[in-house]
Structure 1
Amino acid sequence: MGGPADPEHDPTAAYVLEPDYVASLTGRIVSTTGESKQSHSPINGAPVAHIPQSSEDDVVEAFARARRAQLAWARTSIDHRAAILMRLHDLVLDRQEEILDLVVWESGKARRHAYDEVLHIALTARYYARTAHQHLDTQRKSGVVPVLTRVEVNRVPKGVVGIISPWNYPFTMALCDGLPALLAGNAVVTKPDAQTMLTALLGAQLLEEAGFPKDLWQVVAGPGSRVGMSIIDKADYVCFTGSTATGKLIAKACAERLIGCSLELGGKNPMLVLRDADVERAAEGAVRAAFSNAGQLCVSIERLFVADQVYDRFVERFAARTEAMALGATLEWGPEMGSLISQDQLDTVVAHVEDAVAKGARVRAGGRARPDLGPYFYEPTILEGVTPEMTCFGNETFGPVVSVYRFHDEADAVARANDGEYGLNASVYSQDGPRAREIARQIKCGTVNVNEAFAATFASIDSPMGGMRESGMGRRQGSEGIHRYTESQSVATQRLLRFSPVLGLSDKSYATVMNANLRLLKKLGRA
């Protein structure tokens, strides 16, 4: 399964970040502490950069700059903001190779999965630029008295949005939630993960090059215990992507301040392969579902439920495709799976697999660390016979490990898919589209893909994406993804008629007249 890259033809061996280039990125961090943290590439352990660290005072300064910039930005036209987003779309495509190199170097993922991030940001920028007026224009609503009551609903920016983004999709997650916030007239203070800070800073640089004001997007760095809570204390809205445990703490802190938040959290995502599924297509989809970005994907599939009628054929094809995957920790195109990002992630994967095997699970593919490929590399792994007492049964692995289960009855499969507290993403494979979509409605997940792993919902920017239950709250993408950053403001203008007795009417007579009007409006079909 895979093999080490040829150092004579691998550009990784010669990949060097010029000091001036690194300084141009890290100089964007608001930091006066003089402290820094060394980051390393998961590809070969090479040092990447010293990342300046921010203090609580630096967070205060970042918010002060952002608030000053936001006051002017909120007065700009929607067309102006949308035009900048469209320039960002072009910049991201033009600078693709630079972005891909940095994403792969910092995260260790395969280049094909790094390209998913370029694609997603381009799609997000274009979608919100094209639909800006649809989401943000003042809308006329029905007034209580036809003709005499004029009602308008405005979309008013929240102010300064705090975004805390993870390492697993460092370009996508650094930018995708912030783009609609900017379009809606907000400023952003963001804390990207320390392991992939340069990628997030490149995103900030591209925003400025596209035309967004420099101070509108502030970046701070440091541990969540120091910097993260400071952001929550000062933001007008918080957007967080990460673990369920941290998400709960953020939700409590936001509740104390009576500010809103959106949280995309953990998942133990299921895939259902029904009896009439195209087995070859389902096996191909399962490889992407379970092993994209080495399984370090919030919507990655970790539980696979397969109908009796196709179980043996499916598992055979799935295992064969998994064993045939091209693996590699390299900057080049070619590998179908890259590295885990850190020793912590590798330790979790190893512990989950060893625990399952010790308690009777069978390995159908993979099951080994591969230090010959990279310090944190682990093979894509398929487990059978996983039972509830095993750690990986209900706990998120967040690595290239998937458990396969046989089912006899579709109702039972749905019940097992809904077992547990998570509800982020699911997948259903069937050649009967209407039946698959009906089953999808029964699955308690925020997104469900039919005959696809996760990309159909993730890349369809017009539709909302997020989790149910302990997988989070709020949605990114679509109208919900931008309206979360606005306050709805109703403005009603009343003409002629006032809402009190007139022309000498008593209170009782006024009530009688109003009741008659209500009955008339009902007959006329008014809301």
Structure 2
Amino acid sequence: MTSTTPANLTGQPLPATVGGVAGAPSASRAAALAARATGGADNAPVQMTAPFTGQPITSLPQADDAEVRAAFASARDAQREWAALPATRRQQFLMRLHDLVLARQAEVLDLVQVEAGKARIDAFDEVSATVLVAAYYGKHSAKILSPRRAPGVIPVLTRAGELRHPKGVVGIISPWNYPLALTAMDVFPALAAGNAVVQKPDNQTALSALWLQELAEEAGLPSGLWRIVLGRGSRIGDALLEECDYLCFTGSTPTGKDLAGRIAQRLTSYSLELGGKNPMIVLPDADIAKTAAGAVTACFSSAGQLCVSVERIYVHDSIREEFTREFVARTAAVRLGGALDYHAGMGSLTSTSQLETVTAHVEDARAKGARVLTGGRPRPDLGPLFYEPTVLTDVRPGMTPFASETFGPVVSIYGFSDITDAIERANDTPFGLNASVWTRNGRAGWEVGARLKAGTVNVNEGYAATFGTVGVPMGGMKESGAGRRNGSEGLLKYTEPQSIALQRGLALRPPKGVPGSLWARFMTLSMKLLRHLPGR
């Protein structure tokens, strides 16, 4: 008897819905998305499972070295025609994609939840970020990329300007924790600048990136311009590093350091967003109820698996007890769940390794004398990777969560009496990605924020104010990364600047018969006069 059940890449029947999650997209739809990725029949596929249930999502084709290099070659061919289009034409594509994402968000919300284990409100954050990025570069990229005039060395006689050329083919290595948003934030400006893209998303959350790629082609992106390859870094990493004209990586600091050292051997540019141990400072005049509510979002969105989420809270001693009581109560009230709806406040962790890390950090702190004010335990009754949002206090040096990034729903509370001391403690970390300041005095919050060594600082918000303001750069100081995404910097990093100057009339060397000493005196006088001209 012939089965009519769709088959995955191993030939085995697929369940009716992916991951065994009620209401999830069909298995055949997941398989169709997976088939968009570059990979050959000779390579064993990898089966991914849903964090909510531990059940299969789909099997993903895995590329090998030769297939990745072929993807770069075909993308390079497609890039030439794309780069020749006016930047305004590329903007139009992004605006069409913006509209499609909003209109079709229901399916990708399901995919993000099933793949990453997020609550639906956190999945919606990804949709929001995606369309905000599309809109920003869909409106502003042509202007940012336009030729720029510059004052010539000799007024009137020297005409100078700056052009921006695309790098070529950008290699993008995307993480598992924000599969839709970080794909958009890196891929969209690369395409807007006239590049092609070869992206390697994490296997665990590859379907979200493949879904966005499918919509991009529906919005008018030429086929082959954005290629997606799947595979372990140990197998295809060399090809990615050796073939790309620019590398964009989001992930751990140790891996980022290794990639930076290797790509530098080719004198190829790169940008990195790496780890963080993000602080939050609560000043004595802060609104306690609003601050506690904001802290819940800042610490536990996406189960704390967000590069910019808060892991350390410094509260002024005068309000520490009251704030802690309010924050703990709100944290304990967070509803956990894995349904594809908006009822849960927090979902699950994404992988077994993340659950092991979170558990190890909490247990190490507990064993060494820290107190667990709420949470502090896994919830296998809800699903294999659920862990309660956890608040710790009395965390000291030598305890793992004191200085190491947990990347999970765990936060430690500390007191302070002097703001300078709080700032120094907040800065006492090798990381510098994001920070947060809470106060009723906006000017004071801005001044404290300016003293924090972090690439983004939010006042009376955890991370969303800077994360959602696409017109400003986002990235890390110190070991939290190099380069920036978003804003003009997030676009121009994907370009090569070229200076062109046209010289008329007077040469920049002494005319025939004029002594060098006389020429030097003339030029000295000229430069004294030029310094007073505006724009120089």
Please give the TM-score of this superposition, normalised by the length of structure 1. Answer: 0.96
> Does the Cα contact within 8 Å between 1:67 and 1:160 map onto a contact in 2?
yes
Matches within 5 A, 1:206-285: 206-285=215-294
CA distance in 1, matches of 2:124, 2:20: 17
Alignment match of 1:505 (pick from 501, 508, 514): 514
Write out per-residue CA displacement over residues 269-304 of structure 1, whole angstroms, 9 at most, x where no aligned residue. Answer: 000011111101110011001100000000010000
Note the C-alpha offset of 1:51.
0.5
> Does the Cα contact within 8 Å between 1:44 and 1:375 map onto a contact in 2?
yes
Note the C-alpha offset of 1:197.
1.1
Residue 257 of structure 1 aligns to a residue whose secondary structure is coil
Residue 74 of structure 1 aligns to a residue whose secondary structure is helix
Q: 1:286 to 1:19 in 2, by over 3 A?
A: closer
Write the letter of the residue equivalent to 2:377. R
Note the C-alpha offset of 1:25.
1.4
Does residue 330 of the first structure (1) align with residue 339 of the second (2)? yes
Note the C-alpha offset of 1:526.
5.9
CA distance in 2, matches of 1:519, 1:197: 60
> Does the Cα contact within 8 Å between 1:17 and 1:48 map onto a contact in 2?
no
> Does the Cα contact within 8 Å between 2:299 and 2:409 map onto a contact in 1?
yes
CA distance in 2, matches of 1:501, 1:13: 80
2:302 matched residue in structure 1: 293
CA distance in 1, matches of 2:284, 2:106: 43
Note the C-alpha offset of 1:19.
4.5
> Does the Cα contact within 8 Å between 2:280 and 2:314 map onto a contact in 1?
yes
Matches within 5 A, 1:51-90: 51-90=60-99
Q: 1:526 to 1:415 in 2, by over 3 A?
A: closer
Q: 1:326 to 1:305 in 2, by over 3 A?
A: same
CA distance in 2, matches of 1:418, 1:500: 52
1:451 matched residue in structure 2: 460
2:478 matched residue in structure 1: 469
CA distance in 1, matches of 2:465, 2:24: 36
> Does the Cα contact within 8 Å between 1:149 and 1:494 map onto a contact in 2?
yes
Unaligned residue ranges in structure 1 (runs of 5+): 1-10
Write the letter of the residue equivalent to 2:183. A
Q: 1:469 to 1:526 in 2, by over 3 A?
A: closer
Write the letter of the residue equivalent to 1:21. R
CA distance in 2, matches of 1:256, 1:243: 21
CA distance in 2, matches of 1:306, 1:166: 32
Higher mean C-alpha displacement, 343-352 vs 15-24: 15-24
CA distance in 2, matches of 1:426, 1:13: 36
Matches within 5 A, 1:350-369: 350-369=359-378
Alignment match of 1:191 (pick from 192, 196, 200): 200
Matches within 5 A, 1:88-487: 88-487=97-496
1:516 matched residue in structure 2: 525
> Does the Cα contact within 8 Å between 2:43 and 2:64 map onto a contact in 1?
no
Matches within 5 A, 1:19-58: 19-32=27-40, 33-58=42-67
> Does the Cα contact within 8 Å between 1:12 and 1:330 map onto a contact in 2?
no
CA distance in 1, matches of 2:490, 2:136: 12
CA RMSD, 1 decimal: 1.2
Q: 1:316 to 1:19 in 2, by over 3 A?
A: closer
Write out per-residue CA displacement over residues 465-495 of structure 1, whole angstroms, 9 at most, x where no aligned residue. Answer: 0000000010000010001000110010111
Task: Number of aligned residue pairs: give it.
Answer: 517
Q: 1:408 to 1:523 in 2, by over 3 A?
A: closer
Write out per-residue CA displacement over residues 451-478 of structure 1, whole angstroms, 9 at most, x where no aligned residue. Answer: 0000000000000000000000100000
CA distance in 2, matches of 1:44, 1:524: 69
> Does the Cα contact within 8 Å between 1:161 and 1:239 map onto a contact in 2?
yes
Q: 1:138 to 1:399 in 2, by over 3 A?
A: same
1:8 matched residue in structure 2: none
Moved over 6 A (4+): none
> Does the Cα contact within 8 Å between 1:164 and 1:228 map onto a contact in 2?
no
Residue 131 of structure 1 aligns to a residue whose secondary structure is helix
Please give the TM-score of this superposition, normalised by the length of structure 2. Answer: 0.95
Unaligned residue ranges in structure 2 (runs of 5+): 1-18
Note the C-alpha offset of 1:519.
2.0
Note the C-alpha offset of 1:333.
1.2
1:4 matched residue in structure 2: none
> Does the Cα contact within 8 Å between 1:191 and 1:228 map onto a contact in 2?
no
Write the letter of the residue equivalent to 1:87. R
CA distance in 2, matches of 1:275, 1:187: 50
Write out per-residue CA displacement over residues 155-179 of structure 1, whole angstroms, 9 at most, x where no aligned residue. Answer: 1100000000001011111222110
> Does the Cα contact within 8 Å between 1:158 and 1:236 map onto a contact in 2?
yes
Write out per-residue CA displacement over residues 34-54 of structure 1, whole angstroms, 9 at most, x where no aligned residue. Answer: 320000000111100110001
Write the letter of the residue equivalent to 2:224. D
Higher mean C-alpha displacement, 493-502 vs 475-484: 493-502
